[in-house]
Amino acid sequence: MMRQTKERKLAARVAEIAGVSLMTVSRVFSGAASVRDETRQRVMNAAAELGYKPNVAARALRTGRSDTVGFVISSPWGLGGDFHSATFSAFESELSARGLSVFLSISSPDGRLADRVRQQILAHRCGVLVVRFDEIRPNELRELQMLGTPVVLANYLPETPEENLGLSTVGFNNGEGIVMAVRHLVALGHKRIGHLGGTPGWVDTIGRERGFRNAIAEASLPLEADWVRSCDFARAYDTGMEEMNSIFSQSIVLPTAVVCDSDEIAAGAMAAAKRWNRSLPRDFSVVGFDDTPWGAMLTPPLTSIGHSGLDLGRALGKLVLRLFNNPDAAPEIIAIRTKLVVRESTGPAPADS
């Protein structure tokens, strides 16, 4: 003997209690369809009473959509630190407020990104996909474009025609941040400025290096090759210190200031400067990038270029919502501003310069 009017077919029981057909229940839960307000109320009450919630699987199967967005990260560091966490938190918050769920998928960069993404889309019928990667892989990106699902690149801002990949992107104007930092140093009288860049080829690095060159040219300062170094984000503190040491030990003429691609690199540079008996900021100025909370706790507190993960996440969320509702919209490129936070690691250029 099977259970009778009990337990089976929750939705049908909701319909029965509300005195309507199953179809009306569906209409009520699928949003703003044409249902009389009073009918809607009856259905809602019955549903609340029975604890009914629509089955997303059935809905996804029927409609081919899934109120789901994928967030794919291709990075050996996984989610990343404070900055990327903030980005994701803001993003998720923006989307969940509109009833969308977020799948988070992390892949090491050696795996094939496009495969991973395709898997996510095909498997979960994501309406939009967000992808964040450390390093540009043109081939994989070209594949993404042919997927039919809107793809948004997070934390990437093409600044030249070649860098524009025809995908929607949201990212920081990193170059502008570096330009502000250099202008700040120039205003303080610095004429010999170095740059400790991040991992070569990484998206965070490319625009910053270009920004540095532009800013140096703008100020008609010499671009001394020996003062422009690449560090490794994965060993930022150590490589920052090493490169700074190397500059101090090898260069004939020494810079009076250095702009770094991360606060950690900057911390390494500060340590190296101290080892060479430079007192900061009297003898030497350092600028970081990220404006991490702990940068302010260093001795001296670090001047840094800040970029808000929350801003990035919010903009990303809004763009994704737009694309979710209109998948055929043209790709958008959204730039988010950085801002210079001046603390005590930068000061007037030494008098003898």
Q: Which residues bind a second copy (CB under 8 A)?
A: 53-58, 60-61, 66, 77-82, 84-86, 88-90, 92-93, 96, 101-107, 119-120, 122-125, 237, 264, 267, 271, 292-294, 296-299
Closest distance to DNA from the beta carbon of 2 (Å): 11
Closest distance to a second copy from the beta carbon of 86 (Å): 7
- With binding defined as CB under 7 A, does residue 30 bind DNA? yes
- With binding defined as CB under 7 A, does residue 325 bind DNA? no
- With binding defined as CB under 7 A, does residue 48 bind DNA? no
Residue selected from 10, 136, 333, 342 as contacting DNA according to rule CB under 7 A: 10
125 binds, among DNA, a second copy, none (CB under 5 to 8 A by kind): a second copy
Sorted by sequence, the CB contacts under 8 Å of residue 156 that are 6+ apart come out as 132, 133, 136, 169, 170, 171, 203
- With binding defined as CB under 7 A, does residue 27 bind DNA? yes
308 binds, among DNA, a second copy, none (CB under 5 to 8 A by kind): none
Using the minimum distance from each CB to DNA, give the nearer residue, 21 or 139. Answer: 21
- With binding defined as CB under 7 A, does residue 36 bind DNA? yes
Let me know: does 208 contact 174? Beta carbons within 8 Å. yes
- With binding defined as CB under 7 A, does residue 285 bind DNA? no
Question: Structure tokens of 312?
Answer: 């990035």
Residue selected from 51, 62, 148, 225 as contacting DNA according to rule CB under 7 A: 62
Cα–Cα distance between 353 and 180 in angstroms, integer? 22
Using the minimum distance from each CB to a second copy, give the nearer residue, 228 or 269. Answer: 269
Other C-beta atoms lying within 10 Å of the C-beta of residue 274: 13
Cα distances from 75 to residues 28, 91, 109, 163, in angstroms, run 42, 18, 5, 20
Using the minimum distance from each CB to a second copy, give the nearer residue, 63 or 164. Answer: 63
Closest distance to a second copy from the beta carbon of 12 (Å): 16
| Amino acid identity at 145 | Q
Using the minimum distance from each CB to a second copy, give the nearer residue, 123 or 217. Answer: 123
- With binding defined as CB under 7 A, does residue 58 bind DNA? yes
Cα–Cα distance between 140 and 138 in angstroms, integer? 6
Let me know: does 312 contact 244? Beta carbons within 8 Å. no
Residue selected from 2, 16, 32, 39 as contacting DNA according to rule CB under 7 A: 39
Closest distance to DNA from the beta carbon of 8 (Å): 7
Question: Structure tokens of 304?
Answer: 């840094």
Cα–Cα distance between 59 and 337 in angstroms, integer? 40
Using the minimum distance from each CB to DNA, give the nearer residue, 21 or 145. Answer: 21
Residue selected from 16, 17, 26, 226 as contacting DNA according to rule CB under 7 A: 26
Let me know: does 88 contact 104? Beta carbons within 8 Å. yes
Using the minimum distance from each CB to a second copy, give the nearer residue, 43 or 228. Answer: 43
101 binds, among DNA, a second copy, none (CB under 5 to 8 A by kind): a second copy
Using the minimum distance from each CB to DNA, give the nearer residue, 63 or 145. Answer: 63
Residue selected from 20, 180, 186, 349 as contacting DNA according to rule CB under 7 A: 20
Name the residues that contact DNA, by CB under 7 A. Answer: 9-11, 19-24, 26-27, 29-30, 33-36, 39-40, 53-55, 58-59, 61-63
